[in-house]
């Protein structure tokens, strides 16, 4: 029986790898017919993955997440242990979804409070841009939460079996929409930070407090930005967004 479970574990990992490859193709495709075929194939693979999980692997199975750290994604590798409880709670999610969850929690704790008039003083135009990120993030966070809830419901078997194919197809489409939305958010964030860095290294017109140092009290959640100058914090923001865009890995169609 143990050998059988080991074989099924190998099969499960192969299915997940195939799902990840197809997810990449889905994100890269603008052809409606091709996208429909990919979604059909993804739905079939999700059915196989779901059945293998429920029948053979049980709650103790976890995906190998060693590829999420190291040289390619140093920020993610560094903050992974910081969200150990969060990762454990979402251990049944695919690795790219787990990574997105960790990135978003890190942004919420470190950067959302930085993108305020009190911390980041900008000219009128860029103040308006800065203020859009609060609503954009909260919308993305809601959609991520909705995806997690739907994924958990399906993983728990809380649905009518005869509708399984349609339900999994909807989950595939939700996941793809989620990653496209995350990509848009992160690219806008990266461009915003890049513009401010260029300004701070040049005429210093857009940002009016680049040399000021950030201060936080004991109840604030921020850890990594404490003691940094505003300019250094903007550079950290750019590094975060740039790495996360690479991790999300959605082709740039200049949306």
Give pLDDT tens digits for 64-121: 454 555 678 999 999 998 999 999 998 888 888 999 999 999 999 999 999 999 999 9
Residues of the chain with pLDDT under 50: 1-6, 8, 54-62, 64, 66, 253-255
Query: What residue has token string 């050998």?
Result: 3
| Rounded Cα gap, residues 136 and 194, in angstroms | 19
**pLDDT of res. 2:** 46
pTM over 0.85: no
**pLDDT of res. 224:** 96
Secondary structure (DSSP) of 194-253: HHHHHHHTTT--SBS-TTPBP---TT----TTTT-BHHHHHHHHHHHHHHHHHHH-----
């Amino acid at each position: 029986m143990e050998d059988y479970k080991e074989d099924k574990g190998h099969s499960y990992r192969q299915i997940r790898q195939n799902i990840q490859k197809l997810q990449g193709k889905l994100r890269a495709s603008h052809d409606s017919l091709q996208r429909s075929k990919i979604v059909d194939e993804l739905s079939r693979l999700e059915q196989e993955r779901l059945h293998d999980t429920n029948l053979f692997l049980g709650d103790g199975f976890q995906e190998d997440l060693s590829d999420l750290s190291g040289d390619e994604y140093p920020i993610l590798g560094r903050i992974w242990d910081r969200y150990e409880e969060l990762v454990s709670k979402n251990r049944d999610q695919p690795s790219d979804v787990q990574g997105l969850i960790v990135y978003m929690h890190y942004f919420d704790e470190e950067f959302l409070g930085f993108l305020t008039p009190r911390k980041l003083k900008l000219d009128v135009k860029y103040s308006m841009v800065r203020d859009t990120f609060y609503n954009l993030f909260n919308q993305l966070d809601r959609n991520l939460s909705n995806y997690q809830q739907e994924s958990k419901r399906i993983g728990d078997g809380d649905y009518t079996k005869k509708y399984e194919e349609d339900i999994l197809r909807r989950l595939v489409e939700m996941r793809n929409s989620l990653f496209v939305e995350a990509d848009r958010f992160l690219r806008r964030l990266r461009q915003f930070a890049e513009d401010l860095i260029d300004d701070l290294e040049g005429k210093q017109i857009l940002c009016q407090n680049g040399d000021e140092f950030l201060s936080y009290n004991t109840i604030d959640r921020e850890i990594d930005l404490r003691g940094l100058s505003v300019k250094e914090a903007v550079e950290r923001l750019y590094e975060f967004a740039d790495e996360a865009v690479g991790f999300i890995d959605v082709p740039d169609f200049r949306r």
